Amino acid sequence: MSSSVKGMRDLLGDELRWFQRIEEAVHRVFGAHGYREIRTPILEYTEVFKRSVGDSSDIVNKEMYEFLDKGNRSVTMRPENTAGVVRAMVDHKLLVNNDPQLFYYMGPMFRYERMQAGRYRQFWQIGAESFGVASPESEAESLVMLFDFLQGLGLKSLSLSLNSVGTPESRPAFNAAFRAFFDARANHFCEDCHRRIETNPMRILDCKNPGCQAALEGHPTIVEFLDEASKAHHTRLKELLTALDIPFTENPRLVRGLDYYTRTAFEVLSSDLGAQSALLGGGRYDGLVKMLGGPDTAAFGWAIGLDRLAMVLKQLQGDAPFDPPALLIPLGEKASAEAIRLAREWWGKGLSIQLETRGCPLKKALQSANRTGVKLALILGEGELEKGTVAVKHLDTGEQEEWSLEETALNLGGKGTRS
């Protein structure tokens, strides 16, 4: 019966309330860390993604919303936002003098995929990217921000899965060793892995096939073939995380699906997401800026699935807290004129007031109020008008009392509400 485009949904009600709550925390926490927001276009030239995400990745191969515009240029609705942010850094020449540049973003991404629990064709991501700093300290800082953000939302037991995927320089050594390991037991690996050994051997490590996982027992790890600098980097990051009380587990088989990562790679999974267990992922991508035409710049970043985060929070905490405005119900012509004036005065003081403007009988007004979740009805009739009061009905308990106008402003004051 749905008539929205497949995989794209309307956000409203409780789900939207969780989104808003998360977004508010993003601005507050990330802003406090000195990250600034960036909003890049939803549409980029297809080339931007092909060059950054990688031609061999599934995203580019089969998941992009890609089409020709009227000028016959190939454009793509962003499947992720790191590429767009890097493109913006390059365009605005923000990286020319090597100052650190810290940015965060939030917004819809698009991937043409088969739908499933926690997976949509239009989904939202929150991400943070830091440019111009190569140190493990910058990664620790970014991860602290991430964990403070998530813990602030009430997620306590998170497991960070950590690995180093090395550098383009260190990878040949690993690939050679891994190839020898693979060839010695090649018949135990699946068809896909035989393809991967030619295109991207690392990706065999996270093949989901149980047979392949078993065959990987005792495999050479990327970490043991790291160059000295990368090895020191990896060790230092682990020391920092330990000192900062950020729990992590080393996962030598963790490899990310995007081609641009170097050195640090990580993921956080959640058991509350069904098969779509990845809540967030990220890592270092020191080569990407140069690849997109900018100066050789170190970079580190990650992205969280907002839809999935909201889903986890709902599972853990139920409905998002909601404080609906009080409903002001005037009775009669005289009262309804006064109600608008009075509400305006209260709005000016920052109160949250919804006006019943239908001029309907009180019974009907209360029925609607009850249905729409109003908690407090302020009834303004002839009698109240003369006395300068309102009849205040608490819809959850049924109790009713009478407040002066001053009392009302005082009692409702400062309560921030949103739908």
Enumerate binding residues for RNA (CB under 7 A): 1-2, 6-7, 57-59, 62-63, 80, 111, 113-121, 123, 125, 192, 203, 206-209, 256-258, 267, 274-281, 303-305, 307-308, 331, 361-364, 366-367, 369-371, 379, 381-384, 391, 393, 395-398, 400
Distance CA 220, CA 175 (A): 9
Distance CA 147, CA 234 (A): 19
- Tell me the Ramachandran region of residue 263: left when phi exceeds 0, alpha when psi lies from -120 to 50, beta otherwise: left
CA dihedral in degrees (358, 359, 361, 362; nearest 10)?
80
Contact status, residue 125 vs residue 106, Cβ threshold 8 Å: yes
What would the DSSP string read from start to end of 335-372? HHHHHHHHHHHHHHTT--EEE--S---HHHHHHHHHHT
Q: Smaller CB distance to RNA: residue 141 or 384?
A: 384
Residue from 393, 399, 394, 372 nearest 381 by CA: 393
Q: Would you state the structure tokens that stand for residue 199, as one six-digit string?
A: 């295109």
**Minimum distance of RNA from residue 81's CB (angstroms):** 10
Q: Smaller CB distance to RNA: residue 100 or 361?
A: 361
Contact status, residue 146 vs residue 264, Cβ threshold 8 Å: no
Q: Would you state the structure tokens that stand for residue 217, as one six-digit string?
A: 């027992």
β-strand 299-305 against 278-284: which pairing, if any? Answer: antiparallel
**Minimum distance of RNA from residue 291's CB (angstroms):** 17
**Minimum distance of RNA from residue 102's CB (angstroms):** 20
Q: Smaller CB distance to RNA: residue 7 or 295?
A: 7
Q: Smaller CB distance to RNA: residue 231 or 314?
A: 314
Distance CA 185, CA 192 (A): 15
**Minimum distance of RNA from residue 50's CB (angstroms):** 15
**Minimum distance of RNA from residue 204's CB (angstroms):** 9
Q: Smaller CB distance to RNA: residue 23 or 113?
A: 113
**Minimum distance of RNA from residue 29's CB (angstroms):** 19
Q: Smaller CB distance to RNA: residue 98 or 370?
A: 370
Q: Smaller CB distance to RNA: residue 227 or 248?
A: 248
Residue with tokens 């080569």: 287
**Minimum distance of RNA from residue 97's CB (angstroms):** 30
